[in-house]
Structure 1
């Protein structure tokens, strides 16, 4: 059996959710290489847009109801080689909790200063620019 290339595998949609001056981050039960803390995310299903997938994955993983604001950008992730889409989202209901305990170990609302400790290799520049514009500096 051969591994599928990035182009053959479904894309991954990530939700960038800023609320009350923090961004939501989740820690997966199984790390993907160096990726332990990341944004709520999952595979884009057939017929689904990246924005729709980001909204769905957020609800499935964290119980939060969000709406997509805008697509921040796409790239092939340098660590996982998966096509990634990043969508800015806004909370419209619910409270964040580990709704999918099989996938997630924990979640946290992360202040801007705490992001480098969780993501030491840095963020995708359009995501970093969005967080720089929306998160308080302290």
Structure 2
């Protein structure tokens, strides 16, 4: 993948935070009252790495202090055309809550099986693979159960 954004706008960094076999999702106010479940995320600031932005944005949005573990992947987002970076993070201290009420409406710790309910359009392939690996499929759930998702 490219290291440079394809647009004039700064890249966006998302934090993929797993704790006790659940991933943190936030319900973001996207436009005109519309709400959408996403990962904590925001613009990468000048002089900041994607990993640093993921850590900063998580604290600003949810109050949760995390550490970056590794960059999962990058892509140009198919809808926004902006460079998206996805960083695996681990919680260090605090409890996730709505810390930025202008941007967020709710936070939730989501199980592997609940992800399609929160994100029906599916996740970026590398993020889904990472979550499959670290959270794993619930006992008895297999590939046949995910056909069409």
Q: CA deviation at 1:6?
A: 4.7
3-state DSSP of counterpart to 2:108: strand
Distance 2:92 2:25 in 1: 17
Distance 2:127 2:31 in 1: 21
Residue aligning to 2:36: 36
Q: CA deviation at 1:137?
A: 2.3
Based on CA coordinates, which of the two structures has the bigger radius of gyration?
2
Residue aligning to 2:143: none
* Pair 1:109 & 2:77 matched: no
Distance 1:28 1:35 in 2: 5
- Unpaired stretches in structure 1, ≥5 consecutive residues: none
Which TM-score applies when normalising by structure 2?
0.84
* Pair 1:73 & 2:73 matched: yes
3-state DSSP of counterpart to 1:24: strand
1:1-138 equivalences in 2 (<5 Å): 6-31=6-31, 36-138=36-138
Moved over 6 A (4+): none
Root-mean-square deviation (CA), in Å? 1.8
Distance 2:70 2:21 in 1: 19
Q: CA deviation at 1:52?
A: 0.1
Q: CA deviation at 1:30?
A: 2.3
3-state DSSP of counterpart to 1:26: strand
Residue aligning to 2:141: none
Which TM-score applies when normalising by structure 1?
0.91
Number of residues of Structure 1 aligned to a counterpart in Structure 2: 133
Q: CA deviation at 1:82?
A: 1.3
Q: CA deviation at 1:31?
A: 4.9
